[in-house]
């Protein structure tokens, strides 16, 4: 689509959409959101970019093949689930690591739940964009 209005608006909108998708990813632990919804929002941003600038430009902006991104996400989610199994607990049981913990301060909590959500996020972005790019390139 060769619309100068769409191309101009897309430059600002895609950045906001991607920022909102990361917010939804990080917000999802205790509230609605998470990896799946954040991934769908990010894929919508790249789809808008592909509509305005073309699929080749969207692929360059993504910087990684969507199929490889989906595979990386599945691998990351699987590894986060295997950590608990390796520690003798049920798979996908949440494990916590507190970075910078000191006496009286818990530090920065990092969990396998967040890693799983990031894996789901990457899987959804990769799978949806692989489908969208294939449909767009065939049209």
The whole-chain average pLDDT of the chain stands at 92
pLDDT of residue 29: 66
Q: What is the pLDDT of residues 77-117, one digit of tens each?
A: 999 999 999 999 999 999 998 888 888 888 888 889 999 99
Per residue of the chain (139 residues), give pLDDT as tens.
778 999 999 989 999 999 999 999 998 866 777 999 999 999 999 999 999 999 999 999 999 999 999 999 999 999 999 999 999 999 999 999 888 888 888 888 888 999 999 999 999 999 999 999 999 988 7
CB within 8 A of 32, min separation 6: which ones? none
12's tokens: 């600002």
Alpha helices in the chain (DSSP H): 4-27, 35-53, 55-62, 66-86, 112-138
> What pTM did the predictor assign?
0.89
Check: CB of residue 9 under 8 Å from CB of residue 19: no
Measured CA to CA, the distance from residue 37 to residue 28 in angstroms comes to 9
pLDDT score, position 16? 97
DSSP code per residue over 8-27: HHHHHHHHHHHHHHHHHHHH
Structure tokens of 89?
Answer: 């607990």
The pLDDT of residue 118 is 95
Per-residue pLDDT at 76: 96
Strand partners, 97: 110
């Amino acid at each position: 689509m060769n619309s100068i209005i769409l191309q101009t608006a897309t430059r600002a909108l895609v950045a906001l959409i991607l920022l909102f998708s990361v917010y939804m990813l990080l917000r999802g632990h205790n509230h609605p959101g998470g990896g799946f919804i954040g991934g769908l929002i990010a894929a919508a941003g790249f789809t808008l970019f592909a509509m305005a600038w073309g699929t080749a430009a969207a692929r360059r902006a993504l910087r990684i093949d969507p199929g490889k991104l989906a595979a990386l996400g599945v691998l990351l989610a699987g590894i986060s689930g295997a950590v608990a199994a390796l520690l003798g607990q049920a798979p996908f049981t949440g494990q916590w690591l507190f970075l910078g913990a000191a006496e009286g301060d818990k530090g920065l909590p990092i969990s396998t739940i967040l890693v799983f959500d990031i894996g789901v996020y990457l899987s959804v972005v990769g799978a949806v964009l692989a489908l969208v790019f294939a449909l767009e390139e065939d049209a």
